[in-house]
Chains A and B, each alone.
Chain A
Amino acid sequence: MSTTTTELLKGAAELFPDEVVTQAHVRHLDLPAGAGRFALITLDNGFDHTKPTTFGPGSLANLNAAIDQVEKEAAEGTIVGVGITGKPFIFAVGADLKGVEILKRHEDALAIGKGGHDVFKRLAGLAVPTFAYYNGAAMGGGVEVGLHCAYRTVSKALPAFSLPEVFLGLVPGWGGCTLLPNLIGADRAVSVIIENSLNQNKQLKGKQVFELGIADALFEGADFLEQSLVWTASVLNGTVKVERPEIDRGEGWDAAVARGLAIADSKVHGAAPAAYRALEIVAAAKDGDLQKGFDAEDKALADLIMGGELRSGIYAFNLVQKRGKRPAGAPDKNLARPVTKVGVVGAGLMASQLALLFLRRLEVPVVLTDIDQERVDKGVSYVHGEIDKLLLKGRVNQDKANRLKALVTGVLDKAEGFADADFIIEAVFEEIGVKQQVFAEVEAVAPAHAILATNTSSLSVTEMASKLKHPERVVGFHFFNPVAILPLLEIVRGEQTDDASLATAFGVAKKLKKTAVLVKDAPAFVVNRILTRFMGEIQNVIDEGTPVPVAEKAVEPLGLPMSPLVLLELVGPAIGLHVSETLNRAFPDRFTVSPNLKAVVEAGKRGFYVYDSGKPELDPEVAALLTQGDSVLTEEQVRARVLDAVAQEIGLMLDEGVVAEAQDVDLCLITGAGWPFHLGGITPYLDREGVSERVNGKRFLEQGLASVPA
């Protein structure tokens, strides 16, 4: 068996010459308490913790060779046990995604799954007991290699433990789907494999890994490996008996799978296959037939690796992890000026939220101004209240709370507040004349170097700056609601914005821990423009005669976080209307103003649905307001029209240079609108479904980027 595994991995390694290869060092030691000679395998890629250990085919081959060695020693009786652990701070973080991205053929994808299984399961077949010591970050295949061992310990200091495969578009396919439910029961396994994964890839800490029953013992980080080995000696000596609770292999198992399906439906609405494939395997694992489960994992892995959702998932993951941290087109960060005091014009809710964010992340003085003392006081007291909440939750201690509260002040007189501010952001009424007036007042009192930032969502930054003496220091700084949660920050470069101001804006964005994307000064920038076009097209078909439920259901297969009309409700129909009017003025040929939406807004309705039955139903009062035509489309026709419109709009935006590349559009939609990973934002999906080709005559992304390489 070993030979074929070796050949399999050799073939796979040839496809992936750039692999960062993990070594599997075998070292022998004498266990405490005279428990005998022990072989400890250390997984280590030779880099420090900033480059976590991963498994590619070369790495698996190294582990396989290490197992060859200990297998022989175990058979000869020269060792009493085998352990596996990681380099400092890292156990192993799973398969090397780069090695997955390059795969072109189903058989190669199958080889990766089988290769991992073949190596890992040998651990369970050794003639001596096996132990995994989760010393640090463990994800995916890292978690799984430990699941193949007989016993596990985990460090209290372990910061991150997960099976993130479903989040990316895969299944835990090196034993995870099969072994985990058989170890801790289906319900807990569903929490790890499905629930955490689909909950923004939530990570477990060491203590939780122990409490879930994944690890048999929990030790503090300071002497984790020593205590794990002492414990190992006790297990081997028989002085410690490992007892695990009986798992429910009856109705509880089925109920867990059903719960998993409900979670998957609520998160991806059937639009991405990974969670469902994982649940099929978890369901089948009920009979405890491991090999059957491993075979099913191989098959699922290969199918998913060759599918578009995984490729989109990896693409999206890389966008957020890499492009999101090194924004395309941002100027040299050395040009950035220090920001030691922030001014906020306006003390309303948005302004107060911004003040809180700047305060927490920059920890510099933040001064709010408004037109009367009452509003100023209200803004400051809002911030103080939020700090108190953080204090109650233990997110900040009393000293930090005191510090933050002392840093936020409010004044009526801009000259007093902004004379030494380096960065001043306005969040006043969305009206160009008002904003120009505010900036003129600020410019009169602020230092010459101060950045003037605007949180406008639809007005022209260039026009806002046009009447200033120094328009080069104006930048757009467009946050998304809720400001504390959505990562996206669209940084808008006006026509006269200079590099130093822009670099300062990017520097501030990084400190705010936001995903900054550089955007040209174009109507509604990126997210709002695409969403408005998308919603506009839905509204158009409704106005033309398609029933509301048909229009809504038409886009369900995309698996968006919420339906279009629910989103409009969240944004507020009046704001939606306002943005559509703005875009209608800019692009009257493509953006319409829906008379029905206008009617809804004029009637003072805040939404389209009532929730009396527990499910959203069209509000009869809204239904009565609607005037529809007689052109009734099918769901498919609606979907095609909507996607065509989105593809056209993105194509035009790229032609206009609103952002550097299609990747930026996707990054914006993922981080600003919560559009799902399995769509890769949207352009990978439009490419995959042939929409881009149909509308624009070309793909947005080259083949192989967010898709199977040619």
Chain B
Amino acid sequence: MPRTVRDVVFVDGVRTPFGKAGPKGIYHETRADDLIVKAIRELLRRNPALDPAKIDEVAVAATTQIGDQGLTIGRTAGILAGLPQSVPGYSIDRMCAGALTAVTTTAGSIAFGAYDAVIAGGVEHMGRHPMGEGVDPNPRFVSEKLVDESALFMGMTAENLHDRYPSITKQRADEYAVRSQEKAAKAYANGKIQQDLVPISVRRTNEEAGETGWGLATQDEPMRPGTTLENLSGLKTPFRTHGRVTAGNAAGLNDGATASIIASEDFARENGLPVKMRLVSYSFAGVEPEVMGYGPIPATEKALAQAGLSISDIGLFEINEAFAVQVLAFLEHYGIADDDARVNQYGGAIAFGHPLASSGVRLMTQLARQFEEQPEVRYGLTTMCVGFGMGATVIWENPHHKDAGGDK
């Protein structure tokens, strides 16, 4: 049977505001599945041209797939969101790159011809499901020294990455973090972020956490606008004495969900759906688990090679800021300045938060907005590091660029 690979596009993406995990966080009494359900519903409301019956798949990522993140959440979320019962769904896990993998996996299926349009996203409620909940690592990891013991503790892997890049000091990491907060605050002030947020009703019954009753989450809770180097310099380094990684130069523990519509380009055009980004290539790579923050570098190498592009072709970067050091290692590797204007223009996870499996689609949603604003940029990439030593990179083309769709 002759088969034609089809172009895949990012139609639209939304997310919930991100919350701080824990008893005082906005989502402490909100279920994880409700977060993803509401994100999916907003996506459908924003795109009335998409007939829900034509959705071929709902792929939802979560790292801890138990409780309200279990029960094949891609399927249950579809039903709860009011999608027709004929629309199937499944769950995905690649830890931090869950939503990114939901996008690439379904995108591959679209290119293959199995689907026309899908919903891909992720959710992580780290308050209800703390990192490491219910894990049971095989003892051979330690007994056979398959991985270093620090591999399971992300903060320790970040310290290890500082060791690998001695030039990346705590000072540089803190400076990066301050800039991330500044850029995020500016993006908020300019209304760049809010346009893709889904308001979420939040209930609180614990008086110690604040006003009780129903409220509404309309912005990211973790942001700390006005953060200064002085503020950060005094913070503890919980992963190593005299270490470099602090709560200030890393993403926090967060709750949130993201969802996107991914479709074949033909389907999007035929159905009058927006085309915000065109998928160029994607790649995953493994590295030593104890320096998992290095992962984006080999993943990006592979993705660039597949696309026949070089790093200089990339006009916009959305790099997940699990840790400042991990972004800085990437930039240092490619000889890009710490404060390069192409990188994380709206700020990143250090400011907004990083609800593990949901973050990939946040990067894409932000890159899509930047593409809209900057038609002179032809290519952008979204990349992130992944627990247990992986990296994930997706390269996108800006459909607003004059040469878009043509030869490279």
The chain A residues found within 8 Å of chain B, CB to CB, are: 23, 25-32, 40-42, 44, 46, 85, 87-88, 220, 222-223, 225-226, 229-230
Contacts and interface: CB of A to CB of B under 8 A. Distances in A.
A226 B41 CA distance: 11
Nearest to B40: A222
A46 B205 CA distance: 8
B213 interface: yes
B41 A223 contact: yes
Contact of B212 (A25, A29, A226, A230): A25
Interface stretch (B195-203, B265-273, B288-296, B315-323): B195-203
Contacts of A222: 37-38, 41, 80-82
Contacts of A30: 216, 218-219
B132 interface: no
A229 B82 contact: no
9 contacts: A23-B212, A27-B212, A27-B215, A30-B219, A32-B218, A44-B213, A225-B214, A226-B198, A226-B201
A32 B214 contact: no
Contacts of B37: 222-223
A624 B219 CA distance: 86
Contacts of B201: 223, 225-226, 229
Contact of B218 (A29, A40, A85): A29
Size class of the contact patch on chain B: 20 to 34
Contacts of B133: none
Nearest to A66: B213
A23 B213 CA distance: 9
B216 A226 contact: yes
A25 B210 CA distance: 11
A270 B42 CA distance: 54
Name, among B198, B203, B216, B218, the residue most crowded by chain A CB atoms within 10 Å (CB to CB): B216
Contacts of B216: 29-32, 40, 225-226, 229
Instruction: Tell which of A42, A85, A226 has the most Cβ of chain B within 10 Å.
Output: A226
Contacts of B80: 222
B214 A42 contact: yes
A230 B194 CA distance: 14
Given A223-B201, A226-B38, A40 B81 contact: no
Contact of B203 (A28, A46, A88, A229): A88
Interface in B42-83: 42, 80-82
A467 B211 CA distance: 72
A27 B199 contact: no
A226 B203 contact: no
Given A222-B37, A226-B199, A230-B199, A85 B214 contact: yes
Given A226-B198, A226-B216, 10 more contacts: A27-B213, A32-B218, A40-B214, A41-B213, A42-B213, A44-B205, A222-B81, A222-B82, A225-B216, A226-B201
Contacts of B81: 222
A27 B214 contact: yes
A44 B203 CA distance: 11
A28 B41 contact: no
B204 interface: yes
Contacts of B204: 27
Nearest to B204: A27
A223 B38 contact: yes
Given A29-B218, A229-B199, A40 B213 contact: yes
A622 to B, nearest CB: 60
Task: Report the 8 A-B pairs with minimum CB-CB distance, sorted nearest first.
Answer: A25-B213, A42-B213, A225-B201, A27-B211, A27-B213, A29-B216, A25-B212, A29-B215
A149 B112 CA distance: 55
Contacts of A229: 199, 201, 216
